[in-house]
Amino acid sequence: MQNLPLGNTGIKVSALALGCLNFGSRTTKEISYRLLDQYQDAGGSFLDTANNYAFWNEGCVGGESESLIGQWMKERGNRSRMIVATKVGAKPTFPGGGFENKEGLGRKAIEQAIDESLLRLGTDYIDLYYAHIDDNSIPLQETLEVMDRLVRSGKVRALGCSNYSVSRIEEARSISRSHNWTSYSCIQQRHTYLRPNSAADFGVQISADDELLRYCEHHDDFSLLAYSPLLNGAYTRQDVALPEQYRGPEVETRLSVLKEVAAETDGTLNQVVLAWLLQNTPATISLIAASNSEQMSENLGSLDIKLSQGQLERLNRA
């Protein structure tokens, strides 16, 4: 599998990251292991999770995904070959709580969360540690100072953020530079081929917009990662409706061009979306998810789709 640089960290990550959100909860241990093995066999090594995955699933409190990944790495003896990313800030502080009860990004919360994540993952370091959801109740300097200490202590190798606006990204990186602290090297944002409509509201999630894309294009030390790139199957599955946030007058035009390019490349719509994200500017690392081996194979097959410059231009103009 192709590897790409993660910002200016010196870390190389797989061009497709494996999203492990439901592993250990909705996705059973047996199936989770099978998908992890399949991804690893294809050359993948970039695993994405969070300390709150997946508290909203029945019987879960958060941390189930980390625990399963930790068990799998221990049994496979492959921790040194994996790039593990996890997140802090969005786990409820008590069972049954929601995002309104999230732990946040204060010093004490982060210091407690990192040790809990390390224990569940069965490791003494995290390769990439994200601030999961921006926390305006805590001074950025407090968050960034404790995150830098985690890097200096060896518990974390690189830092990233998720669900941040461009203005907050710039502010955070400026603060880190001024104090000679480790700065955010990447942003993980909701991003796909279809554009959200003007009324779109994703709650605590933030979708990549033109401002963020320009920022990442002009800052080669800052990588872009996309979550929910396939809209939970809405591109291809008849039983999955297109989310209302993506419904609008331009949808049919973009879907029509997407179908044309898929036919030209002998790829599926999902594969062309993932190929477009990776081969467009700025290059975007997608988080792929799967609940069975067939879906995993389809996702991995996107790496074989080579879009021409003309096809990229048509997709972008639509």
- The span from the CA of 110 to the CA of 106, in Å, is 6
- The span from the CA of 1 to the CA of 42, in Å, is 7
Which residue, 207, 273, 213, is CA-closest to 243?
Answer: 207
The whole-model pTM stands at 0.97
Give the pLDDT confidence score for residue 32 in this predicted structure.
98
What's the pLDDT tens digit per position in 40-88?
999 999 999 999 999 999 999 999 999 999 999 999 999 999 999 999 9
CATH of domain 3-242+277-304: 3.20.20.100
What's the pLDDT tens digit per position in 149-177?
999 999 999 999 999 999 999 999 999 99
Give the pLDDT confidence score for residue 249 in this predicted structure.
87
Give the residue extent of every domain in the chain: 3-242+277-304
- The span from the CA of 184 to the CA of 110, in Å, is 16
What's the pLDDT tens digit per position in 197-256?
999 999 999 999 999 999 999 999 999 999 999 999 999 999 999 999 999 989 999 999
What's the pLDDT tens digit per position in 267-310?
999 999 999 999 999 999 999 999 999 999 999 999 999 999 99
